[in-house]
Structure 1
Amino acid sequence: MYHLTIAPRFCETDALGHINNSVVPMWFEQARDPIFKYFVPSMKPEDWNLIIARVEVDYLAQLEYAEDVEIKTWLGKIGNSSMSVVQEAWQNGVCCAKGKAVMIHFDYEANAAQPIPPDIREKLAEHLRAEHLQAEHLQEV
Protein backbone atom coordinates (compact mmCIF):
# COMPACT_ATOMS: atom_id res chain seq x y z
CA MET A 1 0.00 0.00 0.00
CA TYR A 2 1.13 3.51 -0.73
CA HIS A 3 0.37 6.45 1.59
CA LEU A 4 0.21 10.16 0.80
CA THR A 5 -0.73 12.84 3.32
CA ILE A 6 -2.33 15.92 1.85
CA ALA A 7 -2.96 19.22 3.62
CA PRO A 8 -6.10 20.60 1.95
CA ARG A 9 -5.72 24.11 0.60
CA PHE A 10 -8.30 26.83 1.17
CA CYS A 11 -8.78 27.16 -2.61
CA GLU A 12 -9.98 23.51 -2.69
CA THR A 13 -13.09 24.30 -0.66
CA ASP A 14 -16.54 24.93 -2.11
CA ALA A 15 -19.17 27.52 -1.18
CA LEU A 16 -20.21 25.38 1.81
CA GLY A 17 -16.67 25.21 3.18
CA HIS A 18 -16.11 21.54 2.34
CA ILE A 19 -13.50 20.13 0.00
CA ASN A 20 -14.98 20.34 -3.50
CA ASN A 21 -15.87 17.01 -5.10
CA SER A 22 -13.66 17.79 -8.12
CA VAL A 23 -10.57 17.85 -5.87
CA VAL A 24 -10.62 14.21 -4.72
CA PRO A 25 -9.90 12.75 -8.18
CA MET A 26 -6.89 15.08 -8.45
CA TRP A 27 -5.63 13.92 -5.04
CA PHE A 28 -6.08 10.32 -6.14
CA GLU A 29 -4.09 11.02 -9.30
CA GLN A 30 -1.28 12.60 -7.28
CA ALA A 31 -1.22 9.54 -5.01
CA ARG A 32 -0.69 7.30 -8.06
CA ASP A 33 2.77 8.85 -8.66
CA PRO A 34 4.66 5.84 -7.20
CA ILE A 35 2.86 3.60 -9.72
CA PHE A 36 3.57 6.02 -12.56
CA LYS A 37 7.28 5.95 -11.66
CA TYR A 38 7.46 2.18 -12.24
CA PHE A 39 6.41 2.78 -15.84
CA VAL A 40 7.98 6.21 -16.43
CA PRO A 41 10.96 6.68 -14.07
CA SER A 42 11.75 10.07 -15.66
CA MET A 43 8.14 11.27 -15.18
CA LYS A 44 8.63 13.21 -18.43
CA PRO A 45 5.51 13.53 -20.62
CA GLU A 46 7.45 12.51 -23.74
CA ASP A 47 8.25 9.15 -22.06
CA TRP A 48 4.67 8.54 -20.86
CA ASN A 49 3.18 5.11 -21.58
CA LEU A 50 -0.01 4.98 -19.52
CA ILE A 51 -3.58 6.03 -20.23
CA ILE A 52 -6.68 6.16 -18.06
CA ALA A 53 -9.60 4.02 -19.24
CA ARG A 54 -11.94 4.65 -16.32
CA VAL A 55 -12.15 6.62 -13.09
CA GLU A 56 -14.85 6.29 -10.44
CA VAL A 57 -15.20 7.94 -7.05
CA ASP A 58 -17.71 7.28 -4.25
CA TYR A 59 -18.09 10.10 -1.72
CA LEU A 60 -18.87 8.69 1.73
CA ALA A 61 -18.42 11.67 4.07
CA GLN A 62 -17.54 15.35 3.89
CA LEU A 63 -13.90 16.36 3.78
CA GLU A 64 -12.98 19.51 5.68
CA TYR A 65 -10.39 22.23 5.26
CA ALA A 66 -7.47 22.51 7.76
CA GLU A 67 -7.34 18.78 8.56
CA ASP A 68 -4.85 16.47 6.84
CA VAL A 69 -6.19 13.80 4.49
CA GLU A 70 -4.45 10.45 4.08
CA ILE A 71 -4.71 8.86 0.66
CA LYS A 72 -4.23 5.09 0.66
CA THR A 73 -3.48 3.42 -2.67
CA TRP A 74 -3.38 -0.27 -3.63
CA LEU A 75 -3.53 -2.36 -6.76
CA GLY A 76 -6.87 -4.11 -7.10
CA LYS A 77 -6.04 -6.23 -10.12
CA ILE A 78 -3.19 -6.58 -12.58
CA GLY A 79 -4.13 -7.77 -16.06
CA ASN A 80 -2.02 -8.37 -19.16
CA SER A 81 -1.85 -4.71 -20.20
CA SER A 82 -4.08 -3.00 -17.63
CA MET A 83 -4.45 -2.61 -13.90
CA SER A 84 -7.02 -1.29 -11.49
CA VAL A 85 -5.84 1.05 -8.77
CA VAL A 86 -8.06 1.33 -5.68
CA GLN A 87 -7.83 4.31 -3.38
CA GLU A 88 -9.33 5.78 -0.22
CA ALA A 89 -9.26 9.25 1.30
CA TRP A 90 -9.26 9.26 5.12
CA GLN A 91 -9.68 12.24 7.43
CA ASN A 92 -9.79 12.04 11.24
CA GLY A 93 -10.16 8.25 11.16
CA VAL A 94 -13.08 8.29 8.71
CA CYS A 95 -13.00 6.95 5.16
CA CYS A 96 -14.51 9.89 3.26
CA ALA A 97 -14.06 8.72 -0.33
CA LYS A 98 -13.22 5.57 -2.27
CA GLY A 99 -12.09 5.41 -5.85
CA LYS A 100 -10.89 3.17 -8.61
CA ALA A 101 -8.91 3.96 -11.75
CA VAL A 102 -8.30 1.54 -14.60
CA MET A 103 -5.01 2.27 -16.30
CA ILE A 104 -3.58 0.80 -19.48
CA HIS A 105 0.09 0.37 -20.40
CA PHE A 106 0.01 2.03 -23.80
CA ASP A 107 2.21 2.40 -26.88
CA TYR A 108 1.34 5.79 -28.36
CA GLU A 109 3.20 5.15 -31.64
CA ALA A 110 1.28 1.93 -32.29
CA ASN A 111 -1.86 3.40 -30.69
CA ALA A 112 -2.37 0.12 -28.84
CA ALA A 113 -2.17 -1.44 -25.41
CA GLN A 114 1.04 -3.28 -24.62
CA PRO A 115 1.76 -5.96 -22.02
CA ILE A 116 2.99 -4.84 -18.62
CA PRO A 117 6.66 -5.92 -18.38
CA PRO A 118 7.40 -8.73 -15.87
CA ASP A 119 9.68 -6.56 -13.68
CA ILE A 120 6.97 -3.88 -13.31
CA ARG A 121 4.29 -6.53 -12.77
CA GLU A 122 6.37 -7.93 -9.90
CA LYS A 123 6.67 -4.50 -8.24
CA LEU A 124 2.95 -3.85 -8.65
CA ALA A 125 2.06 -7.26 -7.18
CA GLU A 126 3.70 -6.23 -3.90
CA HIS A 127 0.88 -3.71 -3.48
CA LEU A 128 -2.14 -5.88 -4.26
CA ARG A 129 -4.89 -5.30 -1.72
CA ALA A 130 -5.37 -8.30 0.56
CA GLU A 131 -9.14 -8.71 0.08
CA HIS A 132 -8.68 -8.72 -3.70
CA LEU A 133 -6.15 -11.54 -3.34
CA GLN A 134 -8.55 -13.48 -1.11
CA ALA A 135 -11.44 -12.99 -3.55
CA GLU A 136 -9.33 -14.20 -6.48
CA HIS A 137 -8.22 -17.26 -4.45
CA LEU A 138 -11.83 -18.14 -3.61
CA GLN A 139 -12.80 -17.90 -7.28
CA GLU A 140 -10.01 -20.31 -8.23
CA VAL A 141 -11.16 -23.00 -5.77
Structure 2
Amino acid sequence: EEINRLRSRYQLVALRTNNETTFKIACQTLDVDIISMDCSKRLPFRLDQSIVKDAMKRGILFEICYGAGTRDNTQRVYVLQMSKELIATTGGDNLIVSSEANTVSDIRAPFDVMYLMKAFGLPNDKAKFTTEKNGERLFRKLR
Protein backbone atom coordinates (compact mmCIF):
# COMPACT_ATOMS: atom_id res chain seq x y z
CA GLU A 1 0.00 0.00 0.00
CA GLU A 2 2.83 2.39 0.83
CA ILE A 3 4.44 1.77 -2.57
CA ASN A 4 1.13 2.56 -4.31
CA ARG A 5 0.83 5.80 -2.34
CA LEU A 6 4.38 6.75 -3.34
CA ARG A 7 3.71 5.80 -6.96
CA SER A 8 0.76 8.20 -7.06
CA ARG A 9 3.01 11.06 -5.91
CA TYR A 10 6.31 10.30 -7.66
CA GLN A 11 7.27 9.16 -11.15
CA LEU A 12 10.26 7.15 -9.95
CA VAL A 13 10.12 4.77 -6.99
CA ALA A 14 13.16 3.00 -5.57
CA LEU A 15 13.25 0.47 -2.76
CA ARG A 16 16.28 -0.29 -0.62
CA THR A 17 16.39 -3.54 1.28
CA ASN A 18 18.79 -6.13 2.59
CA ASN A 19 15.91 -8.32 3.75
CA GLU A 20 15.36 -11.47 1.69
CA THR A 21 11.56 -11.52 1.97
CA THR A 22 11.20 -7.86 1.01
CA PHE A 23 13.66 -8.38 -1.85
CA LYS A 24 11.62 -11.28 -3.26
CA ILE A 25 8.34 -9.37 -2.98
CA ALA A 26 9.91 -6.32 -4.65
CA CYS A 27 11.24 -8.42 -7.52
CA GLN A 28 7.99 -10.25 -8.13
CA THR A 29 5.11 -7.91 -7.30
CA LEU A 30 5.91 -4.39 -6.07
CA ASP A 31 5.57 -1.49 -8.50
CA VAL A 32 9.12 -0.13 -8.17
CA ASP A 33 11.62 1.10 -10.74
CA ILE A 34 14.85 0.45 -8.85
CA ILE A 35 15.89 -2.07 -6.22
CA SER A 36 18.90 -0.97 -4.23
CA MET A 37 20.74 -2.86 -1.56
CA ASP A 38 23.06 -1.44 1.06
CA CYS A 39 26.45 -2.26 -0.44
CA SER A 40 28.24 -1.13 2.73
CA LYS A 41 27.04 -4.25 4.55
CA ARG A 42 27.31 -7.96 3.88
CA LEU A 43 24.24 -9.26 2.08
CA PRO A 44 22.61 -11.77 4.47
CA PHE A 45 21.22 -13.97 1.67
CA ARG A 46 22.15 -15.25 -1.78
CA LEU A 47 20.46 -13.67 -4.77
CA ASP A 48 18.12 -16.11 -6.49
CA GLN A 49 18.64 -15.81 -10.24
CA SER A 50 15.05 -16.74 -11.11
CA ILE A 51 13.66 -14.05 -8.81
CA VAL A 52 16.09 -11.46 -10.18
CA LYS A 53 15.11 -12.45 -13.74
CA ASP A 54 11.44 -11.90 -12.79
CA ALA A 55 12.32 -8.33 -11.81
CA MET A 56 14.34 -7.81 -14.98
CA LYS A 57 11.39 -8.92 -17.12
CA ARG A 58 9.32 -6.28 -15.35
CA GLY A 59 11.90 -3.62 -16.24
CA ILE A 60 13.25 -3.15 -12.73
CA LEU A 61 16.84 -1.93 -12.45
CA PHE A 62 19.29 -2.93 -9.73
CA GLU A 63 21.50 -0.26 -8.22
CA ILE A 64 25.16 -0.68 -7.33
CA CYS A 65 26.35 2.04 -4.92
CA TYR A 66 30.13 2.24 -4.89
CA GLY A 67 30.61 5.17 -2.46
CA ALA A 68 31.01 3.09 0.69
CA GLY A 69 33.95 1.33 -0.92
CA THR A 70 35.85 4.61 -1.19
CA ARG A 71 35.68 5.22 2.56
CA ASP A 72 36.46 1.97 4.36
CA ASN A 73 38.37 -1.25 3.63
CA THR A 74 35.71 -3.56 5.05
CA GLN A 75 32.98 -1.78 3.13
CA ARG A 76 35.14 -1.96 0.00
CA VAL A 77 35.01 -5.76 0.29
CA TYR A 78 31.22 -5.68 0.67
CA VAL A 79 30.81 -3.37 -2.34
CA LEU A 80 32.96 -5.73 -4.40
CA GLN A 81 31.05 -8.83 -3.24
CA MET A 82 27.63 -7.26 -3.82
CA SER A 83 28.63 -5.92 -7.23
CA LYS A 84 30.04 -9.24 -8.39
CA GLU A 85 26.95 -11.09 -7.20
CA LEU A 86 24.60 -8.63 -8.92
CA ILE A 87 26.65 -8.81 -12.12
CA ALA A 88 26.66 -12.61 -12.06
CA THR A 89 22.94 -12.83 -11.30
CA THR A 90 21.81 -10.23 -13.84
CA GLY A 91 24.33 -11.09 -16.53
CA GLY A 92 25.32 -7.43 -16.38
CA ASP A 93 21.93 -6.21 -17.59
CA ASN A 94 19.45 -3.92 -15.79
CA LEU A 95 22.15 -2.36 -13.62
CA ILE A 96 22.74 1.26 -12.72
CA VAL A 97 25.59 2.70 -10.70
CA SER A 98 25.53 5.55 -8.24
CA SER A 99 28.03 7.01 -5.83
CA GLU A 100 25.80 7.31 -2.77
CA ALA A 101 28.34 9.99 -1.90
CA ASN A 102 28.56 11.57 1.52
CA THR A 103 31.19 14.02 0.31
CA VAL A 104 32.38 15.37 -3.02
CA SER A 105 35.56 13.31 -2.68
CA ASP A 106 33.43 10.12 -2.87
CA ILE A 107 32.22 10.99 -6.38
CA ARG A 108 34.12 9.54 -9.33
CA ALA A 109 34.20 10.64 -12.95
CA PRO A 110 32.03 8.61 -15.37
CA PHE A 111 35.04 6.94 -16.99
CA ASP A 112 36.40 5.97 -13.57
CA VAL A 113 33.05 4.39 -12.72
CA MET A 114 33.02 2.55 -16.05
CA TYR A 115 36.49 1.14 -15.35
CA LEU A 116 35.38 0.21 -11.84
CA MET A 117 32.51 -1.79 -13.33
CA LYS A 118 34.99 -3.47 -15.68
CA ALA A 119 37.13 -4.36 -12.66
CA PHE A 120 34.02 -5.90 -11.08
CA GLY A 121 33.65 -8.17 -14.10
CA LEU A 122 31.54 -6.36 -16.69
CA PRO A 123 32.68 -6.43 -20.32
CA ASN A 124 33.28 -3.06 -22.03
CA ASP A 125 29.84 -2.72 -23.63
CA LYS A 126 27.90 -3.58 -20.48
CA ALA A 127 30.13 -1.38 -18.31
CA LYS A 128 29.33 1.51 -20.64
CA PHE A 129 25.59 0.75 -20.59
CA THR A 130 25.61 0.44 -16.81
CA THR A 131 27.31 3.78 -16.30
CA GLU A 132 25.71 5.75 -19.15
CA LYS A 133 22.71 4.29 -20.91
CA ASN A 134 20.62 2.47 -18.29
CA GLY A 135 20.03 5.56 -16.17
CA GLU A 136 19.24 7.56 -19.28
CA ARG A 137 16.80 4.85 -20.40
CA LEU A 138 15.09 4.96 -17.00
CA PHE A 139 14.53 8.71 -17.19
CA ARG A 140 13.26 8.52 -20.76
CA LYS A 141 10.66 6.02 -19.57
CA LEU A 142 9.37 8.67 -17.15
CA ARG A 143 8.52 11.20 -19.86
Higher relative contact order (CA closer than 8 Å, sequence separation 6+): 1
More strand per residue? 1
Quickly name the TM-score band, shorter chain normalised: under 0.3
More helix per residue? 2
| TM-score, length of structure 2 as denominator length | 0.27
